[in-house]
Amino acid sequence: GAGVSQSPSNKVTEKGKDVELRCDPISGHTALYWYRQSLGQGLEFLIYFQGNSAPDKSGLPSDRFSAERTGGSVSTLTIQRTQQEDSAVYLCASSFGSRWRFPDTIYFGEGSWLTVV
Amino acid sequence: DAKTTQPTSMDCAEGRAANLPCNHSTISGNEYVYWYRQIHSQGPQYIIHGLKNNETNEMASLIITEDRKSSTLILPHATLRDTAVYYCIVRGRTSGTYKYIFGTGTRLKVLA
Per-residue CA distances from A50 to A41, A84, B22, B44 (Å): 26, 31, 28, 20
Q: If you count them, how many residues does chain A have?
A: 117
Three-state DSSP class for residue B11: strand
| Residues of A with Cβ-Cβ distance to B98 under 8 angstroms | 99-100
Measured in angstroms, the CA of A66 and the nearest CA of chain B are apart by: 18
Q: Is A20 in the B-facing interface, judged by CB distances under 8 Å? A: no
Q: Are B73 and B35 in contact (CB under 8 A)?
A: yes
Is a pLDDT exceeding 70 seen at residue A1?
no
Q: How far is A58 from chain B (nearest CA, A)?
A: 7
Which residues lie below 8 Å from residue A63, measured CB to CB, with a gap of 6+? none
What's the sign of the alpha-carbon dihedral B92, B98, B103, B108? positive
Residue at B99: amino acid letter:
K
Higher-confidence residue of B2 and B86: namely B86
- Interchain CB contact of A110 with B (< 8 Å): yes
Of A56, A105, A110, the CB nearest to B99: A56
Q: What is the pLDDT of residue B28?
A: 80
Give the pLDDT confidence of A24-60 residue by residue, as tens digits.
999 999 999 999 999 888 899 999 999 888 899 999 9
| Rounded percentage of chain B residues whose pLDDT exceeds 90 | 71
Interfacial A residues in 29-68 facing B (CB < 8 Å): 33, 35, 42-43, 45, 48, 50, 56, 58
Burial group, residue A46, by CB count within 10 angstroms (0-12, 13-18, 19+): buried
Is the Cα torsion angle A115, B1, B6, B8 positive or negative in sign? positive
Mean pLDDT of chain A: 92
**Would the CB atoms of A100 and B42 count as touching at under 8 Å?**
no
Cβ–Cβ below 8 Å for A109 and B96: no
* pLDDT at position B104: 85
pLDDT tens-place string over residues B28-63: 877 889 999 999 878 999 999 999 989 999 999 999
C-alpha distances out from residue A95 to A6, A76, B43, B100, Å: 15, 17, 14, 11
> CB pairs below 8 Å between A and B: how many?
61
